[in-house]
Amino acid sequence: MQVEWERCLNYLHGMLSDTVFKTYFAQTKLVSQTPGHAVIAVPPGLDVKVYAAYKDLIRLAWKDVSHDEAPVEFEFQPQDVYQPQVSSSDNSFREFIKPSVPLSGSFRFENFVPGDKAQLAFNAALAVARNPDGTQYNPLFIYGSSGLGKTHLLQSIGNYILEEDPTKRVIYLTSEDFSQQYMKCLQEKRITEMSDFYRNEVDILLIDDIQNWTGKYETQNEFFLIFNALHQAGKQIVLTSDAPAAEVKNLSDRLVSRFSWGLTVDIQPPDVETREAILHKKAEERHLEISDEVIRYLAENIASNVRCLESAIIKLTLQSSLMSHDIDMNIAQKVVTEIAPTLRRRVSLDAVLHAVSQHYEVPETKLIEPGRGTKEISKARQVAMFLMRELSPISLQSIGSRFGGKDHSTVVHAIKSVKKEMETDPSFARLIESLKNTIHD
């Protein structure tokens, strides 16, 4: 019973400020639950009336976690009923290394629309969730560009496991969380406690965005030791990244090797039909009436990732409300011009040159000087031309002029070459998407 309320608290923690959560919610306790009624004990000294201000959010969180429509009431309880838990050493350390992002109750398998481009990743994640004690896919490594659903699947695994068996000790955290935990424990001389905690107090470990460990060799070394211990004990590990482990820069070879022990699956951008299905699903979740024509228009014009599709639905709702008007094509077109990554953004050419120069480690002056240059310079220059054409309304002639007065046919050839390689080499396609995401106005 208390486990459900703790999961509800995790949900609320992600929606409330730290001050509000710690003051009014952190020490609350579920003391009774019957069909249609749940009672939460409030620590002495707090005003029960305060919770009325959060009743809608609490009801949403409680329903999402417990699948119970019952109202949640906050009451003072006799001192012998409400007894704040005295932390054991393990609980104390759990609080010491508490992740910044808790599991979100909104991430579930039932509201994930995989389509053909993410079906394998979806099936693998569901298989792990259904059999967390198995070792068939251990580790499970999911990779893909930002906004395609990696975090959704990762947290769905955790939510599913806890629903089936609340006694399972599931830890979800970002790679940044783990890095910060390591540094904090290093400073406090608690590395041994950290190691013992992960080895002895974790059944399923979910780590998001391991590409952020680039160059953090001490963090990588600590995780390597923890990984080995968990894997040998048959504990499930699931990791996500924006690229395959072998393509993550400055990731140690031994981690790359360990991550290949299980199953590696990728998520690719959804096709038009899948984007339509996602939009229908998101609209249904929010009880919105959107015509098939508008759904089709959005799906065709927002091709980058699922996060942008969700953003479109939210903006449609907001625009419709502000204009006191049903969602129609005019509102849809307004939303698309605001957020669609497929529409060319006005980014500076200098920003493109800088990003390409940084990645290929080629001086910007070498990129724009006359002449062909080395093979590496030529490749970097083609990529820069392609990105300039993709991310700005500049003409082919203007792009050529930027690169030492090259003819527009040279620019056309560069763009075609990059597109062809993207179609045949998924890793190169991911690189281009990653560069796009790093370039700003």
Residues within the annotated binding site for ATP? 147, 149-151
Compute the distance between CA of residue 189 and CA of residue 74 in angstroms, rounded to an integer.
40
- One-character DSSP codes across 295-343: HHHHHHH--S-HHHHHHHHHHHHHHHHHHT----HHHHHHHHHHH-TTS
DSSP strand pairing (29-34 vs 37-42): antiparallel
CA distances from 422 to 218, 299, 367, 380, 415 (A): 34, 22, 21, 14, 11
Contacts of 27 (CB under 8 A, 6+ apart): 43, 84
* Residue 1 burial (10 A CB sphere; 0-12, 13-18, 19+): exposed
Compute the distance between CA of residue 372 and CA of residue 379 in angstroms, rounded to an integer.
10
The gap from C-alpha 310 to its chain's centroid, in whole angstroms, comes to 13
Compute the distance between CA of residue 371 and CA of residue 356 in angstroms, rounded to an integer.
18
Binding residues, by number, are: 147, 149-151
| CA angle, 337 then 321 then 272, to 5° | 40
Contacts of 89 (CB under 8 A, 6+ apart): none
CB atoms near residue 51 (< 10 Å): 19
DSSP 210: G
Helix 349-360, helix 375-391: angle, nearest 10:
150
* Six token digits for residue 60: 């949403």
